[in-house]
Amino acid sequence: MNWQPLFEMQKELDQYIVTQHDLQNENVFDKKVLALLVEVGELANETRCFKYWSLKPASEKSVIAEEYVDGIHFILSLGLDLGVEAYQSKEWDTDQDETVLFHQIFQSITQLKAKQSLEAYQELFDTYVSLGQVLGFSPEDIKKAYMDKNKVNFERQNQGY
């Protein structure tokens, strides 16, 4: 998948947020990391992959897609903070267990916070893309859901979110 257009859209959103909230002199990397952890938790909650005690099914695919791209927003934003403006993700085995992938993503986020390196970022991005594939999202699904949510995020900023 060509992530370049999404990086560009995220850069515009990030710049808009910085201006709207007068954050030009603030480093919000750690806040973005925490936000990503929360978003990944919300995604796990919607998939219900870990709720072995429950018979209730996962949320609708559209709800899961929206939660998934919330994570993409923060991953792209963190990449921009690290100087990444383009990325080529790898193809992964789609037979991986969702719960295992969520654990790997949480670990990768923690590693990124500790190291703030391109290697740690690539590991996080690749693992998150792998989760998207396991959840059944095509690159087109991800791009469309991201674009839809990006529009909502701009609207929220304009409404004082």
Q: What is the pLDDT of residue 39?
A: 98
Mean per-residue pLDDT for 41-45? 98
Largest CA distance in the chain: 48
pLDDT band at 85 (very low <50, low <70, confident <90, very high): confident
Question: What is the per-residue pLDDT across 113-161, written as a single tens digit (0 to 9) for each?
Answer: 999 999 999 999 999 999 999 999 998 899 999 999 988 888 888 877 6
Terminal-to-terminal C-alpha distance of the chain: 31
Which residues have C-beta within 8 Å of that of residue 93, sequence separation ≥ 6?
A: 130
CA 44 vs CA 55, 132, 138: distances in Å: 16, 12, 19
Q: What is the pLDDT of residue 125?
A: 95
Mean per-residue pLDDT for 72-90? 92
pTM: 0.93
Buried-exposed string 74-95: b where 16+ CB fall within 10 A, e elsewhere: bbbbbbbbeebeebebeebeee
What whole-number percentage of the chain has pLDDT above 90?
Answer: 76
- Cα dihedral sign, 124-138-90-11: negative
What whole-number percentage of the chain has pLDDT above 70?
Answer: 97
Buried-exposed string 122-149: b where 16+ CB fall within 10 A, e elsewhere: bbbbbbbbbbbbbbebeeebbbebbeeb
Does residue 93 carry a pLDDT above 80? no
Closest by CA position to 80, among listed 39, 132, 22, 121: 121
pLDDT band at 92 (very low <50, low <70, confident <90, very high): low
Mean per-residue pLDDT for 54-63? 97
> Which domains does the chain possess?
4-158 (1.10.4010.10)
pLDDT band at 95 (very low <50, low <70, confident <90, very high): confident
